[in-house]
Structure 1
Amino acid sequence: MNESQQPRKRAAKLFHKKSRTGCQQCRSRRVKCDETKPICSHCDRLALTCIYDRAQSDTNSASPTESGGQPSKAAETIVDPPESESRRRLELRLFHHYMAETGPSLSLDPATAHFWNATICRLALESDSTLYAIYMVSALHMQKKNTMTDTKALDICQTYLNMSIREHHRDVAEINLRNVEYIVLTSSLLRVYGFARLQGRSLEPYTPPVDFLRITNTSTALFRKALDFTQDHPESVASKMIDSAADLLADLEFKELPSDLSPLLNYETGDKKTEEAYARAITYIGSIRKALDEKNVVKSIARRTIVFPMVMHKEFADLVEELRPRALVILAYYFGYLSMLSEIWWVGDSGVREIRAIERVMPKEWLGWLEWPRSVVRDQGVKME
């Protein structure tokens, strides 16, 4: 049978000259970018990470992240804070805070703890992109802990975010066996930032976090490229990080569909890629459920839940953007599991907020599918509005 609720049409857009040098976010959202530096008006309004990755002189090339092209001129124009005693003291404070508090807080299980602590701190002394990413996440953590004023911490976070992205693009443009370690580690810290920003994004009017899904998903391409360089070097950090996720990738072969979600596959669209995107998402949700240990929620499902956007087919984000009811149901289930991880500072209440928002835009005839996500929120003592 067909979905009873047709996908909602996107709002009509005014015709405009297509910008090929706009930021990543505007290009992925297919809106005109005003190309204001360092943050365009769209990204500023929506509190998104604004990344310019295409130079004016090379409008037909793919972004460095995707193709290994040259870093953009926009990236080159980012101005670093001037060298001074205050900057050195600030960076020392940020690095110390990362070693003592932030790094340990990023570890989701003992097997990967060293990546976020000793390993990344050692390699950060050799890589500006990773070092600046450490400063960025540390400042963000300080803001969450209120050890800095909100404005000051977020300003510092944004400064080092821009600097890290600039250096990260340079590394990706010339990826090799030596810098692949830095690329993988920096990418991992940037994903943490992406999760953290979910907590403060505007939900009125509600638009699903499509940019978050897409940008997190694109980091998978970097890991695949890293594997090409490290497959003959099992001792490398990048190789070990990829190996540590082998059990999560095996979950993609999990065939036991959740009984309450499997009926979603009975709706036929006639589009093979669409059905494959739904099937993969539902299958992976089932693997999270199978792994769940209610006595130790974080240890049992945290890594699987965090990895979800990385392993989805890119078409899934398109379906979410179109507000397809099936896609929103699956997304609500995902956020149900994410809400169980609210004690993790960079996850916080984002799962609960997104479930509430999805409920508000879900067609009435589909609201029954949200009973489980709603029950998860209620079980945590959070009142559903």
Structure 2
Amino acid sequence: MPPRLYHTKSRTGCARCRARRVKCDEAKPKCGCCVRHEVECLYDRTDRCKSLRPDATNVLDSVLHQAGTAAGQAAADNGIHTEELMPLMSTESRDRRYLELRLLHLWTTEVCQTLPGCYDPQNLKIWSRDVPKIALDYEPLLTGIFSISLLYMVFSNSQVGIPEAGLFAYRARYFEATVRHHRKALGSMDHRTANAAGFTSIILIFDAFASLRERWMQPIHPNMPYKPPTAWLQMCRGVRNVVALGLDMIGEDSDSSLSIIAKGASLFVDLDTIYSDANRAKFAYLLPAKADASLDGADYEAYTTAVAYIGSVAAAKEAGEEHPKISRRLAIFPTILHDRFLTLLDVPSPRAMVILAHYFALLYTLDGLWWVGNCPEKEIEAIKANLGSEWLGMMEWPLQIIRDRGQTFAESDNEK
């Protein structure tokens, strides 16, 4: 099973605890878990922060390649090349100051209220008050706020006196600056910058969600095979590692803003509850038979992990959990996926694509998520179009959700 989201589990715990993916207390010569189970305890790793730092930097390469390229392409598709904005972005000007003040105000008054978790007053205070203050001393966080606020302007149809094409172009430049400076800062990340680096990375997750909408801006050729958004999923998982590293540096018991946000998120990833038999059984038809001799054990675990988590979200929704909490669960999903599941999507595995369609169907049931928009419907339809007939029966649940939602919208229009 995958590690708990933002879990400060030791990266240098004993070999047995790491293999079981449980927290090791690192007691010497034997940790508490090994003492309790009366087994040998072996420590075979050192310097956890140093060993993680390369991953923290490498993942941002994926961010730049996937979301940054999409941002620049969106600007070009709208008729503006980002080089044309260089004078505005590289020199001080009244227009630039006015735009950035407007973006910061938009962030504090509107954008952060739309983030999963901000239904909690404490979280909302952190995102609207603490994070902007932290950003004044960490440029990547500040430009990250500007970048995602520009996307919010575009997708919420905010009237700011700037053409949509111009907003996309500004967004591309701010995003590029965020990634470039954040990658550089991660190379020297320590406990003083961990808080800011963690928040920058979390913002990049929601930027990645919103970038899925840009992925569909241009028509796809009818003969072009569907390519699952694996770069988005890989980036989300990598960002989780950056946040985990930051939490390691800050300290597990810290009362920092990042620690508070992470502890709140961890409540939604109770492994014993999520990966229960009941949650796996909810979409049992998505799982391969255990008796399938051709199935690799890692493949079965990857499928089971994803299906159980989706089942847990569906169960929470059926139990009447509020939409803001459901959206938080769904935002967490990309960060808990098994590494093997992403490999299966890259193949692509029809089963993995059908499971992903179920995830998008749950996203589609939520109203008002500007950073999601209508991309779930398009992803589901694209997955359906690229499956063999033998897999279409498994698509009935997500397709039914699309039909039900379409009927609801039609009835609402008729009432008007």
Question: Which residue of 2 is the match for residue 231 of structure 1?
Answer: 251
SS of residue paired to 2:269: helix
Residues 228 and 345 in structure 2, CA contact (< 8 A), matched pair in contact too: yes
Of 173, 178, 198 in structure 1, the residue corresponding to residue 192 of structure 2 is 178
Of 358, 363, 374 in structure 2, the residue corresponding to residue 333 of structure 1 is 358
Of 201, 213, 224 in structure 1, the residue corresponding to residue 233 of structure 2 is 213
Using the alignment, how far apart are the partners of 1:282 and 1:289 within structure 2? 10
Question: Which residue of 2 is the match for residue 85 of structure 1?
Answer: 94
SS of residue paired to 2:90: coil
Using the alignment, how far apart are the partners of 1:330 and 1:46 within structure 2? 29
Give the CA deviation at 1:303.
0.5
Of 108, 114, 119 in structure 2, the residue corresponding to residue 99 of structure 1 is 108
SS of residue paired to 2:91: coil
SS of residue paired to 2:371: coil
Decide whether aligned partners of structure 1 residues 197 and 252 sit closer, same or farther in structure 2, where only a CA change above 3 A counts.
Answer: farther
Using the alignment, how far apart are the partners of 1:182 and 1:230 within structure 2? 11
SS of residue paired to 1:362: coil
Greater alpha carbon shift after TM alignment, 221-230 vs 326-335:
221-230
Using the alignment, how far apart are the partners of 1:138 and 1:322 within structure 2? 35
Of 127, 134, 150 in structure 2, the residue corresponding to residue 139 of structure 1 is 150
Give the CA deviation at 1:257.
3.1
Using the alignment, how far apart are the partners of 1:138 and 1:81 within structure 2? 19
SS of residue paired to 1:199: helix
Residues 341 and 347 in structure 1, CA contact (< 8 A), matched pair in contact too: no
Question: Which residue of 1 is the match for residue 214 of structure 2?
Answer: 200
Give the CA deviation at 1:118.
1.4
SS of residue paired to 2:281: coil
How big is each residue's C-alpha offset from its partner over 1:173-222, in whole Å with a ceiling of 9 and x where there is no partner? 11111111111111111111111111131454321111111111111211
Residues 80 and 163 in structure 1, CA contact (< 8 A), matched pair in contact too: no
Residue identity opposite 2:335 in structure 1? M
Question: Which residue of 1 is the match for residue 331 of structure 2?
Answer: 306
Question: Which residue of 2 is the match for residue 24 of structure 1?
Answer: 61
Give the CA deviation at 1:108.
3.9
Greater alpha carbon shift after TM alignment, 245-254 vs 235-244:
245-254
Decide whether aligned partners of structure 1 residues 28 and 326 sit closer, same or farther in structure 2, where only a CA change above 3 A counts.
Answer: farther
Richer in helix (by share): 2
Kindly, what percent of the aligned residue pairs are identical?
Answer: 28
Give the CA deviation at 1:341.
2.5
Question: Which residue of 1 is the match for residue 27 of structure 2?
Answer: none
> Which structure is larger by alpha-carbon Rg, 1 or 2?
2
Equivalences, count: 325
Question: Which residue of 2 is the match for residue 344 of structure 1?
Answer: 369
Of 374, 398, 402 in structure 2, the residue corresponding to residue 377 of structure 1 is 402
Decide whether aligned partners of structure 1 residues 253 and 174 sit closer, same or farther in structure 2, where only a CA change above 3 A counts.
Answer: farther
Residues 292 and 300 in structure 1, CA contact (< 8 A), matched pair in contact too: no
Question: Which residue of 2 is the match for residue 125 of structure 1?
Answer: 136
Residues 213 and 374 in structure 2, CA contact (< 8 A), matched pair in contact too: yes
Residues 302 and 340 in structure 2, CA contact (< 8 A), matched pair in contact too: yes
Question: Which residue of 2 is the match for residue 259 of structure 1?
Answer: 281
Decide whether aligned partners of structure 1 residues 28 and 367 sit closer, same or farther in structure 2, where only a CA change above 3 A counts.
Answer: farther
Higher RCO (CA-CA < 8 Å; seq separation 6+)? 2
Question: Which residue of 2 is the match for residue 368 of structure 1?
Answer: 393
Using the alignment, how far apart are the partners of 1:281 and 1:253 within structure 2? 14
Greater alpha carbon shift after TM alignment, 227-236 vs 178-187:
227-236
Structure-2-length-normalised TM-score: 0.71
Give the CA deviation at 1:113.
2.1
Residues 237 and 336 in structure 2, CA contact (< 8 A), matched pair in contact too: yes
Using the alignment, how far apart are the partners of 2:200 and 2:212 within structure 1? 19
Greater alpha carbon shift after TM alignment, 223-232 vs 121-130:
223-232
Decide whether aligned partners of structure 1 residues 100 and 115 sit closer, same or farther in structure 2, where only a CA change above 3 A counts.
Answer: same
Residues 150 and 171 in structure 2, CA contact (< 8 A), matched pair in contact too: yes
- CA RMSD, Structure 1 to Structure 2 (Å): 3.0
**Structure 1: 5+ residue runs without aligned partners?**
1-20, 30-37, 49-76
Q: Are 1:287 and 2:312 counterparts?
A: yes
Residue identity opposite 2:263 in structure 1? D
Residues 217 and 310 in structure 1, CA contact (< 8 A), matched pair in contact too: yes
Using the alignment, how far apart are the partners of 2:346 and 2:398 within structure 1? 20
Decide whether aligned partners of structure 1 residues 244 and 333 sit closer, same or farther in structure 2, where only a CA change above 3 A counts.
Answer: same
Using the alignment, how far apart are the partners of 1:363 and 1:309 within structure 2? 25
Residues 251 and 287 in structure 1, CA contact (< 8 A), matched pair in contact too: no
